[in-house]
Amino acid sequence: MRKADESLSRKRSRLLKILDRLARSIPDPATELDFHTPFELLVATVLSAQTTDKTVNRVTPRLFTRYPTPSALSQADLPELEEILRPTGFFRRKALHAKALAEAIESRFQGAVPPRMEDLLTLPGVGRKTASVVLYHAFGQPAIFVDTHVGRVSRRLGLTESSDPEGVESDLARLIPKEGWGIAASRLLLHGRTVCLARAPRCEACTLPPLCPAWPGQPPLQNDPEGLD
């Protein structure tokens, strides 16, 4: 069976089994970014571009001790802020973005991160992925965040053929019940970070064969008792 030929209901059924296995291998798919408030998570997510969550976690305690609120961060001394953000790379641009973001939250949303996608997308430096991370992890709302890992894993698993994050998001949204969006995206992301790696997927350590069409030992899906039927 070609991936494109798989019906929506069979794909949903296969995805449920995939998510069930991922739930066992990744029981607690919390974000790896440390945060206490929606503001901290929003800033940390913006800072995580082009670097690792661990690096961001190294700078945010100092950052949020020095600038604990949008008001404080909006008035930050730029050279001092740059120095704090230096380990994250692209620190000059990130310092400008962080200040602009804090100013917008302070001036347009009374200092509180807005809990709505439409509002979050109006903030400087905030795209759909960042907004979805904040909606799910900070506000507990259903949201699917598509980063490079979620996109790659979803394509390998035959859940989408789209290379565009919004296309991946919309394909996943059709397959996953809304209440499960955030936790499913979290598990796909962590699976991509730890097992289904970009250059050399660790299929030998993966719990998903034979549900994965990209698994090298994949027999035809329709003959797989653990797969579609």
Kindly list the residues in this chain that would bind ligand SF4 in the complex (CB under 6 A): 156-157, 195-196, 201-203, 206, 208-209, 212, 214-215
Torsion of CA 34, 44, 68, 106, to 10 degrees: -140
Q: How far lies 112's CA from each of 43, 88, 214, in Å?
A: 13, 25, 44
Compute how many other C-beta atoms are within 10 angstroms of the C-beta atom of residue 216: 9
**Catalytic residue (one of 11, 94, 99, 129):** 129
CB of 211 to ligand SF4, least distance (A): 8
Residues 99, 101, 104, 110: is their CA dihedral positive or negative? negative
Cβ-based nearer residue to ligand SF4, 114 or 201: 201
Residue 92: CB minimum distance to ligand SF4, A: 37
Question: What stretches of 52-164 show up as alpha helix (H) in DSSP?
Answer: 53-66, 70-74, 78-85, 91-108, 117-120, 128-137, 148-156
Q: How far is the CB of 20 from ligand SF4 (least distance, A)?
A: 14
Pick the closer one to ligand SF4 by CB: 72 or 205: 205
Residue 198 beta carbon to ligand SF4: minimum distance, rounded to whole angstroms: 10
Give residues with Cβ within 8 angstroms of 216, minimum separation 6.
203
Q: Which is nearer to ligand SF4, 138 or 195 (CB)?
A: 195
Residue whose pair of structure tokens reads 């571009």 in the numeric block: 49
Q: How far apart are CA 155 and CA 160, in angstroms?
A: 5
34 is catalytic: no
Closer of 130 and 186 to ligand SF4 (Cβ): 186
Active-site residue, from 11, 94, 99, 147: 147
**What is the separation, in whole angstroms, between the first and last Cα of the chain?**
13
DSSP state at residue 7: -
Catalytic residue status for 147: yes
Residues sharing a CB contact under 8 Å with residue 187, sequence separation 6 or more, in sequence order = 19, 22, 23, 26, 29
**Shorter beta-carbon distance to ligand SF4: residue 127 or 210:** 210
Instruction: Output the smallest distance, CB 180 to ligand SF4, in A.
Output: 19
Q: Enumerate the active-site residues.
A: 129, 147
